[in-house]
Structure 1
Amino acid sequence: MNRIGKLNWAFAGGHIPFASTGEEPMFNSHDKIAILNTAEEEAEIEIFIFYENSAPVGSYSLKVKAQRLRKVRFNDLIDPEAIQLERKFSCYLRSSLPVVVQFSRMDTGQAANAVMGTIAFPAD
């Protein structure tokens, strides 16, 4: 199978609301990325978080198995530092192999839930 995607990805519109309604953890407000690895090797991923008024945080390291999809909630990224709720952030992702990255958000702060998704920016 062909490798598809890019090595570097970014998105600028991160924000995890503090408030959530509904059953946990399924309906916790969150931002999430989906990473598709079509290669026959495992992809090593580094994630860096940028805030408006402080130094970048990272790297958060994870792996995506060969020819697999991995979904990662930013709420679950805690090492080296938990993502701060109610604070705008941006993300830069660097991969050892070409991958495809999609960004999505679930905001359940009100009873009427909202979900949105978009492709991240392929930076290389």
Structure 2
Amino acid sequence: MKGERHWIIPDGFIPPASSGSLTSHESICVLNCNGKDAHLAITVFFEDRPPLEGIAETVKGRRTKHIRTSSLQASGERIPENVPYAIEIESDVPVIVQYSRLDATQPELALMSTMAYPLTTNRGMSVHE
């Protein structure tokens, strides 16, 4: 199986305004190389408030899915704009996770993409300790 079951994205931020015709956004990009669907459990952490927990997403087998962070919600609550956040992603099958940000706050656009940080069982790490 390719990928990991536990991923961390420590830096997220949705700007309050964009310039031009494109909207600033961030996406969790998930690749599921497995034959069965991946069921994700997403938690969003903040500096000054409790996390948004229990966010479920499914990535079909042998497919990819790009999940806009602005669309994530738990109990009707969404990630607010202009607030730093971090994301934990847990999957029932190994997946590969990348994070992308389009910054359209100025006329000179910026696109950033990076691999999320995989937590493997042999590292002995847990964000819940």
The normalised TM-score by structure 2 is: 0.88
Amino acid corresponding to residue 65 of structure 2 in structure 1: R
- Structure 2 unpaired stretches of 5+: 121-129
Cα RMSD of the aligned pairs, angstroms, is: 0.9
Residue of structure 1 in register with 2:58 after alignment: 63
Q: How many angstroms apart in 2 are the aligned matches of 1:33 and 1:121?
A: 12
1:52 aligns with 2:27: no
Q: How many angstroms apart in 2 are the aligned matches of 1:22 and 1:59?
A: 35
Amino acid corresponding to residue 92 of structure 2 in structure 1: S
CA drift of 1:22 comes to 2.6
Residue of structure 1 in register with 2:123 after alignment: none
Q: State the aligned residue count.
A: 119
- Any residues of structure 2 matched to 1:1-124 within 5 Å, and which? 3-23=1-21, 27-80=22-75, 81-124=77-120
Q: How many angstroms apart in 1 are the aligned matches of 2:12 and 2:113?
A: 12
Aligned residues: percent identity?
33
Q: How many angstroms apart in 2 are the aligned matches of 1:39 and 1:22?
A: 39
Q: How many angstroms apart in 2 are the aligned matches of 1:79 and 1:54?
A: 14
- Structure 1 unpaired stretches of 5+: none
Amino acid corresponding to residue 53 of structure 2 in structure 1: G
Range 70-79 or range 58-67, more displaced: 70-79
Range 52-61 or range 91-100, more displaced: 52-61
Amino acid corresponding to residue 76 of structure 1 in structure 2: S
The normalised TM-score by structure 1 is: 0.92
CA drift of 1:78 comes to 2.8
What is the SS of the residue equivalent to 1:21?
Answer: coil
What is the SS of the residue equivalent to 1:110?
Answer: coil
Q: How many angstroms apart in 1 are the aligned matches of 2:72 and 2:5?
A: 20
